[in-house]
Amino acid sequence: MMLLSDKVAILTGVNSGIGRKAAEIFAKNGAKVFGADIRTDKMDELRAVFKACGSEFEGCCCDVRKAEDVKAVFSRAVERFGRIDIVVNIAGISCDKPISRISDEDFSRIMDINVRGVFNFCKYAVPYFKKQKHGVIINTSSITGIYGSGMGCPYPASKAAIMGMTKTLAYELAPWNIRVNCVAPGVVNTEMVAALGERARKTFERSIPLRRMGEPEDIADAIVFMASDMARYITGTTLCVDGGYRPSTVNP
Ligand SMILES: NC(=O)c1ccc[n+]([C@@H]2O[C@H](COP(=O)([O-])OP(=O)(O)OC[C@H]3O[C@@H](n4cnc5c(N)ncnc54)[C@H](O)[C@@H]3O)[C@@H](O)[C@H]2O)c1
């Protein structure tokens, strides 16, 4: 069953990891996608994936921190596909330093990409969604925004901020039939996590009841569900996709 037939979606962070996999699964579910990422080297491959699925992909370089870039994504997507039904914010960066080594610049960079970036895409989606009286926004938080993490405090802070923004926008925008939700991945097997090293990986695996790290498709499938009409009565919530993970209080 194709869950997103004829839907048009904007996805950020499509050049790698969870965003890339989400774009592929959107293609398999019949959606047309406009991808936005600061890196674009994998976008031609994605275009081919969509073509093979009988769907369409367009993408461009966009720094989610910059309002001008974000506005351009919306006008290009509407120009190409005629409308937008779904916005999925996936672009993000992590942090694994102790507080003594986190500079002002580190803090600002994480907040700007992870929080301002999501704000920008929500803000510029709203006029389109209000006008058509429907729309879906899905933001990518993290279970670290709920439980905290061993270190790298700006990252969980940014992910908790996303949950607060999501709930508020869900209440504010419900009168226009706009749903706003988060997915909160646990530990997922992407470059972001590979960078943390083998010891951290083993520690994580021991804390996951399903005894494996998540794969990007585990998260992507949850995003497709939340974006589809199957989730039509769900708004203002955070769907944890984490294999039952509960944190150890010991640093990895
Ligand atoms: N991997 C995990 O274990 C995990 C767990 C919880 C949450 N998440 C969240 O999932 C999302 C995707 O993570 P991932 O593991 O796939 O990471 P990733 O590093 O593989 O992908 C992130 C993507 O965001 C893009 N990006 C970075 N800065 C950008 C900017 N300024 N403007 C536009 N694009 C930018 C990158 O180019 C990249 O394509 C992130 O928001 C991350 O916080 C990941």
Does residue 128 have an active-site annotation? no
61 lines ligand 1 (CB under 6 A): no
Which element (helix H / strand E) includes 1?
none
Residue 247 lies in a domain: no
187 lines ligand 1 (CB under 6 A): yes
Residue 3 lies in a domain: no
3-state secondary structure of 35: strand
- Using CB atoms within 10 A of its CB, is residue 28 exposed (0-12), middle (13-18) or buried (19+)? middle
- Average pLDDT, stretch 212-239? 97
CA distance 230 to 232: 6
**Cβ contacts of 39 within 8 Å, gap of 6 or more:** 15, 16, 61
**Do residues 38 and 62 make contact, with C-beta atoms less than 8 angstroms apart?**
yes
Has residue 139 got a pLDDT over 70? yes
Has residue 44 got a pLDDT over 50? yes
pLDDT value of position 1: 85
In 3D space, the residue among 95, 75, 74 whose CA is nearest the CA of residue 12 turns out to be 74
Has residue 27 got a pLDDT over 60? yes
Residue 251 lies in a domain: no
Residue 250 lies in a domain: no
pLDDT tier for residue 249 given thresholds of 50, 70 and 90? low
Residue 246 lies in a domain: no
Has residue 89 got a pLDDT over 90? yes
Ligand 1 center to residue 30 CA distance, Å?
A: 24
Domain count, the chain: 1
Residue 248 lies in a domain: no
Please tell me which residue in 147, 155, 171, 245 is annotated as part of the active site.
155
46 lines ligand 1 (CB under 6 A): no
pLDDT value of position 122: 99
Best of 94, 163, 165 to mutate for ligand 1, by most ligand atoms within 8 A of CB?
A: 94
Domain that holds residue 168: 8-240
Residue 114 lies in a domain: yes
Has residue 252 got a pLDDT over 50? no
Has residue 60 got a pLDDT over 50? yes
64 lines ligand 1 (CB under 6 A): yes
The CATH number given to whatever domain includes residue 97 is 3.40.50.720
Residue nearest (by alpha carbon) to ligand 1 atom 40:
92
Give the distance, in angstroms, between the CA of residue 178 and the centroid of all CA atoms in the same chain.
Answer: 17
Ligand 1 center to residue 16 CA distance, Å?
A: 8
Residue 106 lies in a domain: yes
**Lookup: tokens for 61:** 């370089």
- The pLDDT tens digits of the residues spanning 152-204 come to 999 999 999 999 999 999 999 999 999 999 999 999 998 877 777 788 788 77
Prediction pTM value? 0.97
**Average model confidence (pLDDT) for the chain?**
95
